[in-house]
Amino acid sequence: MQEQNEHNSTEHRTETSVPRVVLNHLGGSKKGASDKFPLSRFKEIKIGRGSASDIRYDPDDDDLVSRSHAKIRQDSQDPGRFTIMDLGSRNGTYVNKQRVTSEHVIHPGDKIQFGPGGPELEFDITPRPSTRTRKTRLATERFTGSSTTRSAPYDFSEPEALHQPGFGTSVGRNTVVQLIEKARGETRKLVAAGILVIIAAVGVYLFVERPGITKEIQAKVTTQAPGPPKAPKTLTSVQIAERYKKSLVLLRLQWHLKDTETGELIYHIRVKHEEDVHIPIYHRLDDDTFVPVLVLASSPLRNEYSKPIGGGVWGTGFIVDEDGFILTNHHVAAPWNSEIELPKGTSYKRDSNTGELKPDFRYQVNAQRWLPKKMNTWDGNKINRKAVEGTFQFFDVTFADTDLRVPAKIVRVSNKHDVALIKVDVPEDVTVAPYMTKADSIRMGRDPVEGETVYLMGYPAMQQLLELRRTESSDLSNRGAETNIVPSPTIVSAVIGRKVEKDAHPVTGPRSFALGEYYLIDGLMLGSGASGGPVFDEYGTVIGIYTADLLIDKVGATLVVPMKFGDELIQGGG
């Protein structure tokens, strides 16, 4: 993310006493910006192009910087001592033009460069220590002193030869002194004459060439004088789409619910009512609530009309790491942990003669939402164990502008927020979407604010179904043609209406979205299929994850989960 040169002027006035490391960017894509790291939170600052870096350089513009290039560290034994260490980068780390190969002490004012000709920054500490350490000497400066043994100057007052054995001390000494004085007088005359000649020549040259020289000096001053720091570069929606569309992936999966003890799939029983009419049936509990009648695949009660609990999901994700890690929504990657829709049905009764289950239309059940992971009944009886979990029939990822489906797997899901981390294994390089980390929020002292323009990207299902490609197979064992989806992301601009902060709550479905922390955008943006897509700020940095559209009394709103919760999950929390 692009940081501002002065993140917050009020912060600068009121918190100057807070010890912090300040890194002023002198070159590269961040030129003119400053990063501030409070020492109460940061004892180590990682620098590179990877997503885990605290100083994250642009992966395209700053290609001399390695994914994990270097780190700055505060000495735990001596808090006033700071070092930098190269982390095995390809192009090396330089302090004041000298390459460092081991942990190297740095001081305020030192210039650090990442690769020859790469981005450069100046290290500083605020407030400055009371006893300021001398800045490290530049290699190009004139040598004026050293801690090594110094050579003694030659003493003309008492030439060593005059005291050697066998020489007198009266005539010899006076003769030598006179010769030296005579030589010095001749030298002074020659030097004075030479200086007069040079001054005269320079005067004539300046008189003749003065107008041109004056203009040249003025031009150099104009071009070399440092201007105001560059403001962060904003991007249009077209630029964001072109730069990061390859980081978006389309997720398609089919899942079923299975029993954790037997591994069998779980079925919702349906019974025949009329020809070609099969009705789902429910238990009526003592409190007049209804739960589905469920059986295992091996149960004799399962008939040919019964349906396995599960469904298909279409969603969006975006790549956050070069190794193929992808962020998306919890309800997309693990749908059994969220509420699902059960179909309309009835209660049931048993035929007294045959024992067959039949619908009991005295108790009709409307379509209802049900949470599989909190299932606490089995065939109408209470259970006290983790009864079920989800299993995939398939879980595939498709990259933009291709029709190739790549298998994915779940890495971890959040128990508090609607975010999940998955992974694909791909041999080629992938495009990573830069995102705002939790450290970025702390360092900048702000989150996205109300009224800020953002850009939402994703794969709305209805739009993607218009982009179909029919391909012919050249595989001799699999002849024929098939129709595939070639995903192309949609991008829309919006404005953050407000930020809602409440206690975190497990994601269970649309009702639970009223709890937790999110950004609220007025209006319905992309629709079904875009869930899990990135929300960019105007600098091309992901600040949130598209989560859901809500429609209440014909008024629509879009919910976005702050990216800091995605970063928590990437770092192993959440």
Comparison of pLDDT for 291 and 231, the residue scoring more: 291
Select 9-126's CATH number: 2.102.10.10, 3.40.50.300, 2.60.200.20, 2.70.70.10.
2.60.200.20
Q: Which residues, in sequence order, are bridge partners of residue 341?
A: 369
Tokens coding 335: 């749908």
According to the model, what pLDDT value does residue 219 have?
Answer: 52
Sign of CA dihedral 103, 108, 111, 114: positive
Domain residue spans of the chain: 9-126, 238-471+483-570
d(CA 481, CA 167): 113
Comparison of pLDDT for 198 and 107, the residue scoring more: 107
Q: CATH number of the domain at 238-471+483-570, please?
A: 2.40.10.120
Residue among 535, 555, 530 nearest 452 (CA) = 535
**End-to-end distance of the chain based on CA atoms, in angstroms?**
22
DSSP-derived secondary structure letter, 365? E
Specify the long-range contacts of residues 258-265, CB closer than 8 Å, at least 24 apart: 258/388, 258/389, 258/390, 258/391, 259/296, 259/387, 259/388, 260/385, 260/386, 260/387, 260/388, 260/389, 262/296, 262/298, 264/296, 264/297, 264/298, 265/296, 265/297, 265/308, 265/309, 265/310, 265/391
Range of lowest pLDDT (11-15, 69-73, 274-278): 11-15
Domains 9-126 and 238-471+483-570 share a fold: no
According to the model, what pLDDT value does residue 204 have?
Answer: 55
According to the model, what pLDDT value does residue 8 have?
Answer: 41
Residue among 118, 130, 375 nearest 259 (CA) = 375
d(CA 335, CA 340): 8
Comparison of pLDDT for 128 and 164, the residue scoring more: 128
**pLDDT exceeds cutoff 90 at 209:** no
Comparison of pLDDT for 466 and 413, the residue scoring more: 413
> Is residue 526 a contact partner of residue 520, using CB atoms and an 8 Å limit?
no
**pLDDT exceeds cutoff 80 at 185:** no
Range of lowest pLDDT (175-179, 435-439, 452-456, 489-493): 175-179
pLDDT tens digits for range 32-66: 999 999 888 888 999 998 878 889 998 888 888 98
Range of lowest pLDDT (60-69, 174-183, 250-259, 401-410): 174-183
Range of lowest pLDDT (10-24, 82-96, 146-160, 397-411): 146-160
Confidence of residue 199 (pLDDT cuts 50, 70, 90): low
> Is residue 89 a contact partner of residue 114, using CB atoms and an 8 Å limit?
yes
**pLDDT exceeds cutoff 90 at 468:** no
According to the model, what pLDDT value does residue 211 have?
Answer: 54
pLDDT tens digits for range 247-299: 999 999 999 999 888 889 999 999 887 777 889 999 888 888 888 888 889 98
Comparison of pLDDT for 559 and 428, the residue scoring more: 559
pTM for the complete prediction?
0.60
> Is residue 294 a contact partner of residue 269, using CB atoms and an 8 Å limit?
yes
Confidence of residue 13 (pLDDT cuts 50, 70, 90): very low
Range of lowest pLDDT (101-105, 127-131, 321-325, 560-564): 127-131
Tokens coding 174: 């006076």
DSSP-derived secondary structure letter, 162? G
- Residue whose pair of structure tokens reads 């705002």 in the numeric block: 436
Confidence of residue 174 (pLDDT cuts 50, 70, 90): very low
d(CA 226, CA 231): 14
**How confident is the model over 225-242, as a mean pLDDT?**
73
Q: Which residues, in sequence order, are bridge partners of residue 259?
A: 388
According to the model, what pLDDT value does residue 300 have?
Answer: 86
According to the model, what pLDDT value does residue 388 have?
Answer: 82
Mean pLDDT of the chain: 76
According to the model, what pLDDT value does residue 123 have?
Answer: 95
d(CA 328, CA 569): 11
